[in-house]
Chain A
Amino acid sequence: MNLDIVIATLSATIKAGTPLLLVTLGEILAERAGVLNLGLEGMMLVGALSGFIVCHLTANPWLGLLIALISGAVISLIHAFLTTTLRANQVVSGLAVTLFGTGLSGFLGKMVIGIPIENYFRPFSFPSLGAIPIIGPIFFQQDVLVYMSYLLVPIIAFWIYRTRPGLHMRAVGENPTAADALGVNVYGIRYLYTIIGGMLAGIGGAYLSLSYTPVWIENMTAGRGWIAIALVIFATWDPLRALLGSYLFGLVDAVQFRLQAVGVAVPSFFLNMTPYLATIIVLIFATRETARRRIGAPAALGLSYVREEKS
């Protein structure tokens, strides 16, 4: 096989994996604090649309990104309020976020279908690193959001494992009663990380509309929010493994795209199925692996915390 094709495919892998990575990192934080948010798909769509509209109006992708981040935060706030303060069922609330986000983006998106944008996040060669043979074209001739995602992984890993707030977050996700007894603000922390998760989902969505495709297409996330939820399990709530998992799926995406482009005999419908089937297969192995190694989800994941009344 031609080396250029391999490099191009791997570069496309990073591109396709980046939105998954951003969203998965956000969900890892929320779940580490005990909040399962199944609304990723909806938040991504709202982020993709709001970012796109603002970028279209202002010709400034950074402003679009900011708005995507804010809209992701606002929607996740609904989820945080319902599940943390009102102790609503996290699964149903998350589904409601997805339904609402899908509907809202479909409704408002009608105005901007088919409109191209001039300014979006274009790839550029990172100074000096981009010139390295093979590595450079794959990792360092990407757009600025990809570079940011490289930085986010070690930052979030450091935050989770090595800092005091990270410890508090994990405590809230594992044993909120004990954390509360130690004076940790359980509700505040759950709000905080749910909202950060929403921001990253908004950015992940905006990556699709401001870099990956740069147009608005209804339901353009195509299930990536759900794949990210599976990736969190695959990653065993670890940011570095999330990077691995996201790029694995980026590779599946990039390869099936390339196969479609060269016109293999397999109908495109079956090639389009591969990311979903791959997710299910990976999820099966990840579930068996976590069960065997006894590393499970945060113990309090999905449970609302009811503070005992002090007498």
Chain B
Amino acid sequence: MSLTLEKRDTFSTLTNFLVPVISIVVALLIGALIISLSGFSPLTAYYEMFAGAFGSGYSISETIVKAIPLMLCALGVGLAFKTVLWNIGAEGQLYVGAWAAGWVALSFPDGQSWWLIPLMMLAGFIGGALWGLIPGILKASMNVNEIITSLLLNYVAILGVDYFVYGPWKDPKGYGFPFSPFFGQGAWLPTFFGTRIHLGIIFAVLAALILYYLLKSMRLGYEIRVIGENVLAARYAGMNIFRTILIVFAISGGLAGLAGMAEVSGVIHRLQHAISPGYGYTAIIIAWLSRLNPIATVIVSILFGGLLVGGFSVRSLGLSESLVYIIQGIILFLLLAGEILTRYRVVWRGGSRG
């Protein structure tokens, strides 16, 4: 008896849709097991999570607030995946973008929105892009493993922001807490409908549309797809791989930087220790789950935003919000296992092999 995999002749769109859905459902079931093993009722916990994430107008708006940085980071990570580049550094790029935007905001406490916010956006994007270019340049010029470099730079970026909020930029009236003074009102992104949903949602949706157009219709998008599928073919075709890698890392990091800008300008309104609860890492799963499709990225980000908000609300039951990261990890495991089903048929063979 043996378990073998046979290649499918056709790709089924139904499986392509079902695999992510079943992955999420099964991950929640395994999560339920973990919850009950730790002595809580999974039904209560999930009810609390769902109500916290989607149960009211307020909770839906909070879910969307969390989805904004996820979308921006996941779009960037997904673009890098498309080129078979692993940008695991969105978390750090987000911090550097937030830092650069915060630097602008703190420099002009009386600045006016019409020029201050575009300047902060530019600073956030450039900050993230430069941070993303470090692993990009090392990869393109010397083939240094970008997974390790981009990831380690996350630790560096977070410590760097900590230095400023514990040190030179600490609010003198903040009772010693690690945060900067509030930005001037001119540096606050406008919000909608009396909720905390801010203009960042427009950045994210625009970025998704631009990336979609770029990949579909522009020469750069074509080069990205060719390099992603076959780097040798791209080289023979005379494509400038060095330049493309740099552009991809700059855009990827820039989008994460913009996420950081949007988070500090739209939600927190100042710099602080721990700006992000791991948006950059969750973005990796979102990018993989949405199969690198920019439109799907938006939808999946909202789902994961809900998971984050729901995870926060189970804390009232005494459960740790780390539950969310367990579930995220399991979703990714199942997704990987399920992907095989879209490409192969699993066949049990009895008796001896021919």
**Residues of A in contact with B (beta carbons under 8 Å apart):** 38, 42, 78, 82, 85-89, 91-93, 95-97, 99-108, 110, 222-223, 226-227, 229-230, 233, 267, 269-270, 272-273, 276-277, 279-280, 283-284, 287-288, 291, 310-311
Decide: A276 and B323 in contact? CB cutoff 8 A. Answer: no
List 13 other contacts, CB 8 Å, given A107-B326, A270-B159.
Answer: A38-B147, A85-B3, A99-B325, A100-B329, A100-B330, A103-B329, A233-B148, A269-B159, A269-B163, A270-B163, A273-B156, A279-B152, A280-B149
In whole angstroms, how far apart are the Cα atoms of A103 and B323 in the complex?
6
CA distance A283 to B134 in the complex (A): 13
Check if A95 sits within 8 Å of B332, measured CB to CB. yes
How does the 8 Å CB contact mask read for B34-66 relative to A, with 1 for contact and 0 for none?
100010000000000000000000000000000
- Cα distance, A42 to B330, chains bound together (Å): 13
Closest B residue to A107 by CB, please name it. Answer: B322
Q: Is the CB of A110 within 8 A of B145?
A: no
Tell me which residues across on chain B come within 8 A of A96, comparing CB atoms. Answer: 285, 329, 332-333, 336
In the bound complex, residues from chain B placing their C-beta under 8 Å from that of A223 are 151-152, 155
Q: Among the listed B3, B143, B320, which residue makes an inter-chain contact with A291, where contact means beta carbons less than 8 Å apart?
A: B143
Chain B residue at minimal CB-CB distance from A227? B152
A287 in contact with B147 given A86-B340, A100-B329, A267-B163 (CB within 8 Å) = no
Question: Could you say which residues of chain B place their CB within 8 Å of the CB of A103?
Answer: 322-329
Which residues from chain A contact B340 at a C-beta distance below 8 Å?
86-88
User: In the assembled complex, which residues on chain A have CB atoms less than 8 Å from the CB atom of B328?
Assistant: 99-100, 103
Task: Point out the residues of chain B lying under 8 angstroms from A97, CB to CB.
Answer: 329
Q: Is the CB of B281 within 8 A of A276?
A: no
B153 at the A interface (CB under 8 A) = yes
- Assess whether B172 is interfacial by the CB under 8 Å rule: no
Taking a contact as CB atoms under 8 Å apart, the answer to whether A107 and B323 are in contact is yes
Mask, B151-165, CB within 8 Å of A = 1, is: 111011001101100
The contact of B162 among A78, A82, A269, A291, by CB within 8 Å, is: A269
Q: Which of B38, B160, B284 contacts A269 (CB 8 A)?
A: B160
A82 touches B322 (CB 8 A): no
Pick 21 A–B contacts, CB within 8 A, sort by A.
A78-B333, A99-B281, A100-B328, A100-B329, A100-B330, A104-B322, A104-B326, A105-B322, A107-B38, A107-B323, A108-B38, A110-B320, A233-B145, A273-B159, A280-B138, A280-B148, A280-B152, A283-B148, A283-B149, A284-B138, A287-B143
Shortest B56–chain A CB gap in Å is 27
Query: A288: which of B142, B152, B156, B167 is its contact (CB, 8 Å)?
Result: B142
Alpha-carbon distance A273/B162, docked complex (angstroms): 11
A-B residue pair count with CB separations less than 8 angstroms: 137
Considering the chains assembled together, what is the distance between the CA atoms of A273 and B158 in angstroms? 9
Q: Check B151 against A93 for contact (C-beta < 8 Å).
A: no
A89's closest neighbor in chain B, by CB?
Answer: B336
CB-defined contacts of A272 to chain B, threshold 8 Å = 159
- Rounded to whole Å, the gap between the CB of A235 and the closest CB of chain B is 14
For the complex, give the distance between the alpha carbons of A287 and B333 in Å: 31
Shortest distance from the beta carbon of A216 to any chain B beta carbon, whole Å: 13
User: Chain A interface mostly helix, strand, loop or mixed?
Assistant: helix
Is the pair B337, A86 in contact by a Cβ cutoff of 8 Å? yes
Complex formed: what's the CA distance from A78 to B336 in Å?
11
| Cβ-closest chain A residue relative to B138 | A284
B288 contact set on A, CB distance < 8 A: 92
Residue A95 contacts which of B88, B138, B148, B339 (CB distance < 8 angstroms)?
Answer: B88
Name the A residues within 8 Å of B160 (CB-CB). 269, 273
Residue in chain B with minimal CB distance to A102: B325
**Contact, CB under 8 Å: A280 / B336:** no
- Report the minimum CB–CB distance from B328 to chain A (whole Å): 6
Q: Which 10 A-B pairs have the closest CB atoms?
A: A100-B329, A103-B325, A106-B322, A96-B332, A269-B163, A103-B326, A88-B336, A107-B322, A99-B329, A276-B152
Q: Which A residues are CB-close (under 8 A) to B144?
A: 283-284, 287
Query: Interface centre among B147, B156, B328, B329, by most A CB within 10 Å?
Result: B329
**A158 CB to closest chain B CB, in angstroms?**
28
B156: which A residues are within 8 A, CB to CB?
273, 276-277
Q: How far is the CB of B5 from chain A (nearest CB, A)?
A: 7
Per-position binary interface string of chain B over residues 304-338, scored 1 when its CB falls under 8 Å from any chain A CB and 0 otherwise: 00000000000000011011111111101100110
* C-alpha gap A42/B151 in the complex (Å): 14
Q: A272 — nearest CB in chain B belongs to which residue?
A: B159
Q: Is A95 a contact partner of B325 (Cβ separation < 8 A)?
A: no
Contacts of B319 in A (CB 8 A): 107
Structural contact, A99 and B145, CB atoms closer than 8 A: no
Per the bound structure, the CA–CA distance linking A242 and B332 in Å amounts to: 31
Measured between beta carbons, the chain B residues less than 8 angstroms from A288 are: 142
CA distance A279 to B152 in the complex (A): 8
- Whether B166 is near chain A, meaning CB under 8 Å from some CB there, is yes
Of all chain B residues, the one with the shortest Cβ separation from A88 is B336
B86 located at the interface, meaning its Cβ lies under 8 Å from any Cβ of chain A in the complex:
yes
For B173, what are the chain A residues with a Cβ–Cβ distance below 8 Å?
none
B326 touches A229 (CB 8 A): no
Task: List the A residue with the shortest CB-CB distance to B326.
Answer: A103
> How far, in whole Å, are A267 and B170 apart by their CA atoms in the complex?
14
* Docked CA distance A92–B320 (Å): 25
Query: B353: which A residues are within 8 A, CB to CB?
Result: 310
Q: How far is the CB of A264 from chain B (nearest CB, A)?
A: 15
B354 within 8 A of A: yes
Tell me, in angstroms, the Cα distance from A89 to B142 when the chains sit together. 24
Residues of B within 8 A of A269 (CB): 159-160, 162-163, 166-167
